[in-house]
Structure 1
Amino acid sequence: MILDKIENYKLYWNLSERIAKGFEFIRNTDLAQIESGKYQIDNDAVFAIVQEYDTKEVEDCKLEGHIQHIDIQYIIKGVELMGVTTKKNQKMIFTDEEKDYSFFEGETSLIRVEEGMFTLFFPDDLHRPCVKAEQISKVKKVVVKVRI
């Protein structure tokens, strides 16, 4: 897992060509004006999902993981907490192989992700997004899915 400010994206640019395309989308798109929805970047190899939602209580947020994708989660507006942990002995409670996500039971450590910050979640990382910080608030986020 990586947590950083978007101005430092070039530190991670060379991890893969597809990750670079994801950062290129974030850097070259007017994200303040973009509508919620799915955007193709490189067919199914790299695509973005723009979301707007209210943050929730931690117990209302699901711990998730992916096998076929890396997530770049960039906060366009707002602030949220994300629970993070690595895969170990958590109990899987649901999986959808076609959509590449699984839900787990388990404890996490909370990190604060603010406007202008991103996370990179790899297949060994589990994450619990959308958790409220001090109070419930509106968040606009883009999740770039990078196929491995």
Structure 2
Amino acid sequence: MILDKLENANLYKGIHPGIEKALNYIESTNFNDLPIGKHEIEGIDLFVIFKEYETKPVDGNLLESHREYIDVQYMVEGVERMGVTMHTGQVPKKEYDAVDDYMLFDEPYDIVTVNKGMFAIFFPDDIHMPDITTGEPSSVKKAVFKVKIRHS
């Protein structure tokens, strides 16, 4: 997992070409002009889901991980907490769903806070739970980029 401010994005652009494209998209996009929803950048290899929602308490929610995509989550407005732990052989509570590229885990995790202007990058070994409230539910706008690990 990588957690940083957008002004440090150049430090991470050499990791994967899709991550670089996602970070460049963030830097060059006025999200006030982007409609809520899914937007293809490079078909299934790179797309963004622009979301607006209320953060929520954990309340028994499960952590997720992916196999085919890296998540680049950019906080456009608001603040939320995210749970995260490393995949070290834990058995998923919900087995891998190949169609939607996720599996769910019920594991102990650490909490990070993601403020406006920050991004988190989650790799397949990063089990994560976004959308957590910092206390009371609050409004958030977030861009979630899906970066395909292997190009089709």
Q: TM-score, normalised by structure 2?
A: 0.93
> What do residues 52-99 of structure 1 show as CA deviations (whole Å, max 9, x unaligned)?
110011125330000111100000000000001001243312231111
Query: Aligned-residue CA RMSD in angstroms?
Result: 1.1
Letter in 2 for 1:74: Y
Q: Residue 115 of structure 1 corresponds to which residue in structure 2?
A: 116
State the partner residue of 1:54.
54
Q: In the aligned structure 2, how far is the partner of 1:87 from the partner of 1:115?
A: 27
SS where residue 33 of structure 2 aligns? coil
1:99-131 per-residue CA deviation (whole Å, 9 max, x = no partner) reads 111111111111000000000000000001000
1:127 aligns to 2:128 (yes or no): yes
* Residue matched to 2:13: 13
Whether the 8 Å contact between 1:61 and 1:129 is mirrored in structure 2 is no
Specify the alignment match of 1:28 in structure 2: 28
Q: Normalising by structure 1, what TM-score?
A: 0.95
What is the CA–CA distance in structure 2 between the aligned matches of 1:103 and 1:36, rounded to whole Å?
25
Structure 2 alignment gaps of length 5 or more: none
Aligned length: 148
Structure 2 distance, partners of 1:55, 1:89, is 29
Distance 2:91 2:33 in 1: 39
CA distance in structure 2 between the aligned counterparts of 1:61 and 1:32, rounded to whole angstroms: 30
Q: Following the alignment from structure 2 to structure 1, what is the Cα–Cα distance between the partners of residues 15 and 91?
A: 30
SS in 1 for 2:23: helix
- Give the conservation status (yes or no) of the 8 Å contact 1:61–1:131: no
SS at match of 1:14: coil
Aligned to 2:66: 66
Give the fraction of aligned pairs with identical amino acids, expressed as a percent. Answer: 41
